[in-house]
Structure 1
Amino acid sequence: MKNLTYLLLIIPILSLFSQGIGINTTLPMATLHVNGDMKFTPKASDATRLVGIISNGEVKEFELGNSFNITTGTLTVIPPIDSNIFLIGDVDQVLTAPTTSQYDNYDIGLANINIDKTIIRVFGETNGYSVSGFTDGFDGRIIYYYNSQNNNVTFFDLNLGSDAKNQIITGSGGNEGTTGEGVAEFIYDGSLEKWILINIR
């Protein structure tokens, strides 16, 4: 009689597991069916981890690395970039060309749209123009400023039109530039807090 009682108790349990386990539901539609809120307490209090399932089915936490970024709640995956590949970004001067001849604290998108770009292609200017400095420099940041138009561009040496941390050191003590189309190479020196003009061609 005792064996029969055990058997009668085991059958409903096996039936329960074959249908799945339901929390707050009597008709589970998966192995584990939760009807309602579920709370997961991560190991860290900051948003630097993801929760995922590994190949054996275990739930694990993963730290975010350089290839993952969360911005305003959206996860983006940044593919690894070959160090020998220089990505090209664009700056359109069409809207500023009629009113601006000297670009002070010039925002060419180094902190946003061109954050991962090394070659910055500039176009849309209708006259010759000058640049006294660039925003968002950081130590070791390199840019190739590609003036892709026939209008001349002049880079001012330590010009007060731009904030001190955005200014350019041309190396010659004077202003330098391209005659029409050309490329100027800059690197940001974090200790000097200046853009250094390395080469122009």
Structure 2
Amino acid sequence: MIVTLIIICEVGFWVLLAGGLALRYLARLPRLGGAVLLLEPLLEVVLLTVTVIDLRNGAEPDWKHGLAALYIGFTVGYGHYTVKRIDGWAAHRFAGGPPPVRPPRYGMARARYEGGLWLRTVVAASVALVLLQLAIAYVGDASRTGPLADWQALAVRAAGIHGVIALTFLLWPHKPPKDPAGEPESAPPLMTKR
């Protein structure tokens, strides 16, 4: 049941996002579209509630509960960022807004961008760790909570691997390609944020 609910939450996220943006930009109802977009966190509240009820009813803690915690953590870390990026694209595409700001491609600007993404992963992993630790404390039986501890280790590994990848952009920054004359091409100017 938990896996099905995770799938429903993921599909619901994209349906609410598409519906909110359609109302906002196609139907020209920005307040109603914004209200629909604000419903998205309720999906995670429902998932968290059902997971707690499942554990309270005596379900054996397993990979499904760990996956639910990681899903909620990912949504906390990346949900707003994803909505904002897609909203910027929709505003440009359907409402004549400015083109979305593209991530920098080279140098320290790219390293800062990658570092920001890594911090989102740290937030996601931290939320998942806290939720999993609360579940472990709630179950209270170390012989039954091994799968939850395994998911905690997975969250830490994911944040660590992403940190190493982000660090490579700092230690070995990408350089713009050189044009045929041997000079580095100038990077396109970054657009200002709205």
Short-chain TM bin: under 0.3
Which structure has more helix as a fraction of its residues? Answer: 2
Q: TM-score, normalised by structure 1?
A: 0.19
Q: TM-score, normalised by structure 2?
A: 0.20
Choose between structure 1 and 2 for higher RCO, CA contacts under 8 A separated by at least 6 residues. Answer: 2
Which structure has more strand as a fraction of its residues? Answer: 1
